Chain A
Amino acid sequence: MNGDNPLLRVRDLKVGYEVPGDLIVPVEGVSFDLNPHEVVGLIGDAGSGKSTTALALMGLARPPGKILGGSVEFGGRDLLTLPDAEIREIRGRDIGIIVQNPRAALNPMLRVGRQIGFAYRAHNEATEAAARAHAIDMLRLVGINDPERRVEAYAHELSGGMAQRALIAMALSSTPKLLIADEPTSGLDVTIQAQFLDEMWQTVQKTGSAMLLVTQELGVIANFCDRVLVLHKGRIVEDAPVRQFFAEPQHPYSQEVLRFYHERASGYPEQVTGGAGFLRTDALTKHFPLRGSDKVVQAVDKVTISVAKGEAVGLVGESGSGKTTVGRCLMRLEHPTAGAVILDGQDITALNAAEMRKMRSRMQIVFQDPFDSVNPRWTVADILDEPLRVHEGGDKAARRERAVAALKQVDLDPSLMIAKPRDLGASTLQRINIARALICNPDFVVLDEPTSVLAPRARNSLIALLARLQKELGISYLFISHDLTTVRYLCQRVAVMYLGQIVEEGSVEQVFTAPQHPYSRALLSAHLMPDPTNRRVDNPVPAALEGEIPSPIDVPKGCYLASRCPHVTDACRANPQVLTDLGQGRAVRCERVVAGEITLQEAAHD
């Protein structure tokens, strides 16, 4: 698929990091071409050298890194041998870049407007005033409201999303011939993520430039890329058009990454029968007092959910919608302001400390960052032993046997017992966290974004593991995630949260094939399913929700979505909405849907 006249020709690129007494070479011989008009995805595991490669394309390496060899031909010249002054002209003008951590990329000591101005004036003749005006225009262009005020802001005063927008604006404004985007939307909510990728894609199409899109998301690859490069062990191991890549991955690594995509034909997980209401909440409410004010943050608002025995229920929604707080209240890591949490008929909010300690062995939680929840000085053996010692006692040898069995259960080798957390990768450690959660045979586990820090391959295998354990052990899960793809594979039922409330609830099949609530619809239409035959860029997509999620401090009086809903009426703004049962396990919090006034659009995803 290499054209005759590529825009960028990379050959044998080699980058290493000098660490005391050693040289690590994460990129050891990368070769590929990029053609005009092409959007190429670059995927690979965490730490596989994607970012290192992206920087090296511009002749740079993050200290103490060094480019050790190879060539990067762009416009007939090798960027790696160009004099400093010449390559500085190309950077930012002919090749634009969006880096992984946008807030850290902005100079913390200069106002954002000045920085954008400097970038502009590095490649254009302009006065300071003109550059400032240009900066304001650019911020307005990427949808930052009140740009006159924002140009005066410092980086730490911007949200991650705003900083990302600023970077995107800077990269696009010079209409570069090549755009390198390193996980450009990783910090953004799904709804905004899709909008930005749309925009970048359109820019590339309009201006005939090319884009290298570094990502860990198969959904992003499937929906936006024409071709896929797979980086594994420092080399490109696969280079294929996107449909071919999804249909017939060649390299074993690619095959593993795509395992779920291929198993998809098996349909949705089977519904469980019986054991309903094994764990349930009753109007669970959590308010956080706001310091220096008598207002409260309304994090969770009368959430009633129910998980049957052996069932996995997904809890989805944008960041800040209250998912994690629900999980923490279930575990009583947070004491609910009102409402009850009932496990197997017992209200755990009413238990005293001793009773709660006993209860803890029956319910467990796994957190997002595997390193957060372990003592870094403990060995794996210590980590696994702790819950046994606390909850069950027994002699040491028996406990050790249990720990070894738990390791095997999560497909890890017993030799890891002597390892410490820093010796382990995130995905191994997350398995150990899961082993620890399961070691006392709990009935119920809260999984709070357990896969979100993992690379696609590790994520896949962890989901497979969780599904297997659920089947084998009959545990109930509450699976908190903003990644709808994993929810779809693991869960039987799903609840969609918005601003502390559940707005829709039903089986995964019901909600994913025919979402009813306007918010669920927006969420699902923004979600990038890893399916290259039904690409977002080929189909017109329904308009995304406008605006941003309101603050949970001053919640609206009527429907919480009223400020963003395309179907809003005056009645919506006035009436608080209630979650209404539609039968067949479905419930929706929207009076217009219940009244049948909003007709169902095309199924978002089948």
Chain B
Amino acid sequence: MSKPLISVRGLTKKFGDFTAVDGIDFDVAKGESFGLLGPNGAGKSTTMRILAATSTRTSGTVEILDKDPELFGPLVRAHLGVVPQQDNLDNELTVSENLFIYGRYFGLSKKFIKNKIEELLEFAQLEEKRDVKVEALSGGMKRRLTIARGLVSEPDILLLDEPTTGLDPQARHILWDRLFRLKEQGVTLVLTTHFMDEAEQLCDRLVVMDKGAIMAEGSPAGLIKQYSSKEVLEVRFGSDRNKEVAPQLATMCERMETLPDRLLMYTEDGEALLEKITHAGMHATTSLVRRSSLEDVFLRLTGRTLIE
């Protein structure tokens, strides 16, 4: 195997006494799409900022293209396209000026950027807003512009911190499609997300983070296979009865999780399990059979749901 593009060992970040990132290790190979998945406060953004060479670490090592981002900040950042969690556009400038000046920060020629702007305005579907001050854009438009801006320098590595938060479903799918195409062109993607479907769609490999630590690592399918069953039967008996029937139901499946409003039963065949329950004389008020998702992996690993 060739040397990884990004290599992280024992990475720790403390803010005072508080440990935000607690000794994590991972590698990202060239052309790979790598995800950090985890709930609020897991340490995803902190990790991303360290990769982006805009934050220092407390201990551990980080190498991006064989370079320590702390020692070679500008050089490492020249390889990166960064989309931070919070849009940080230049409010004093227009849409196209934002793209233009950002390219200039990278030292790119004016001619190159002028051509690139056309492409990026189309990418972000902001052609009609090109001469509008960014203050006047909607939240989703700002997000799209921030993402487009990250592509001005044609980066080798794209760091996306919750890229689709605030986008409508259509814009999300368009973005997934664009990211997929970038990946086909050999761009390495590192992204964080709360959205299971996004992680499953976009990531070749991901780590599940919680409280600054990595709980598991693998491909989305691999993780589901390892930590969950093929199918999940979700049943509701009404909030009071859920608890009553839980002990009996638990014996009928491989594993069960009791959530406040529903029971999740892990099994290879959901329909068959539902029949069995009905036979046993228990009638669920609602039931749903679905495939296991990363959400279930997360629940298994941490005992908590990812969103909510």
Q: Are A and B physically bound partners?
A: no
Query: Chain B residues in contact with chain A, CB under 8 A?
Result: none
